[in-house]
């Protein structure tokens, strides 16, 4: 069931349509919530708040439907892309430690940990790293690797009374039904002086502005489209001090990258796949950064 929502940043219900829906009240399909979903350009109506400029899907599926979908989702393709994720999270952790300092046994919670690749990376670097993940399949995969990944959300009872030195949300905040509420929960889970690190798409990036409605990150599973400005405003609204924000890309296997291209342009994707397979480069991981993904670092005050 599609429901209308107010702006999650300023609370108002005054908006204009930025991009009309490309779906028509279609039944929610669990597969579109896979991290590796190729459903580019398939989205609900996207609007922009007339007061604060925040961009979001409206109307969209109910909170209950969204949680049910994320609980049920399975994503075997993500397992095949593990090498690229490991490289990406290794780079993310290196950048994180430049801001927060090295591990030294400090605690870290990864929200939306999926199969636990970042948790595993952080443990290897000396962090007391934990994760929380709503997908039963993904949490089980992480637990099979011996990782401390809890099935659930920030409301999981296992997190009650705990506080962490660092909390991360990699490509998570755009998916949740109430991002401001999730940021408020993270504040309570952080020790005074602790860090919150968020990574998401930048709707005001040059790539997004040039591509307009063809920007590939307009998808079913994305409910909110932040700019560096609006995410900083939401963090400040919830008591955080914003320290730094900037573009940060990722690593992808060339074979997987070709499937992403095919989702946007089938002939070009087929050509890229054929060339990559001929050259034997399918498993080669390469850095990808179009400037439309960014990371923001914020701190809970120490007092």
Who contacts 24 (Cβ-Cβ below 8 Å, separation ≥6)?
A: none
Residue 264: per-residue pLDDT: 66
Measure the CA–CA gap between 41 and 301, rounded to whole angstroms.
40
Residue 39: per-residue pLDDT: 78
Q: Which residues of the chain have pLDDT under 70?
A: 25-27, 253, 256, 258, 260-264, 268-269, 272
Query: How many H helices and E strands in the chain?
Result: 10, 15
Residue 158: per-residue pLDDT: 97
Beta strands per DSSP E along 113-211: 128-133, 149-151, 164-170, 190-201
Cis previous bond, 58, omega within 30: no
Structure confidence by residue, pLDDT tens digits, 181-191: 999 999 999 99
Pick the closest to residue 293 from 224, 198, 210 (CA basis): 198
Residue 256: per-residue pLDDT: 64
What tokens were used for 114? 């999926």
Taking the domain 2-299, which CATH number applies? 3.40.50.150
Q: Is the pTM of this model over 0.75?
A: yes
Who contacts 39 (Cβ-Cβ below 8 Å, separation ≥6)?
A: 32, 219, 220, 221, 263
Residue 162: per-residue pLDDT: 96
Domains of the chain, by residue range, sit at 2-299
Measure the CA–CA gap between 233 and 226, rounded to whole angstroms.
10
């Amino acid at each position: 069931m599609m429901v209308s929502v107010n702006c999650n940043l300023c609370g108002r219900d005054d908006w204009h349509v930025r991009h009309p829906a490309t779906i028509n009240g279609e039944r929610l399909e669990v597969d579109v919530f896979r991290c590796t979903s190729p459903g580019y350009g398939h989205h609900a109506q996207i609007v922009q708040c007339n007061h604060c400029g925040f961009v979001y899907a409206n109307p969209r599926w109910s909170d209950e439907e969204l949680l049910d979908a994320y609980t049920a989702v399975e994503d075997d393709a993500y397992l095949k892309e593990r090498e690229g994720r490991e490289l990406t999270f290794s780079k993310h952790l290196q950048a994180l430690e430049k801001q927060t300092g090295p591990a030294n046994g400090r605690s870290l919670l990864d929200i939306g940990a999926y199969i636990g690749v970042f948790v595993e990376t952080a443990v290897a670097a000396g962090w007391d790293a934990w994760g929380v993940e709503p997908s039963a399949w993904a949490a089980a995969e992480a637990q099979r690797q011996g990782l401390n990944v809890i099935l659930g959300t920030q409301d999981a009872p296992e997190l009650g009374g705990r506080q962490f030195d660092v909390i991360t949300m990699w490509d998570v905040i755009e998916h949740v039904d109430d991002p401001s509420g999730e940021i408020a929960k993270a504040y309570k889970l952080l020790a005074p002086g602790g860090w919150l690190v968020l990574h998401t798409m930048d709707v005001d990036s040059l790539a997004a502005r040039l591509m307009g409605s063809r920007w590939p990150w307009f998808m079913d599973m994305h409910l909110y489209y932040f700019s560096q400005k609006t995410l900083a405003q939401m963090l400040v609204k919830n008591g955080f001090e914003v320290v730094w924000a900037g573009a940060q890309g990722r690593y992808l296997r060339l074979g997987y990258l070709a499937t992403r291209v095919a989702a946007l342009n089938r002939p070009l994707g087929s050509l890229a796949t054929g060339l990559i397979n001929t050259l034997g480069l399918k498993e080669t991981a390469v850095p990808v950064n179009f400037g439309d993904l960014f990371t923001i670092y914020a701190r809970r005050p120490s007092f």
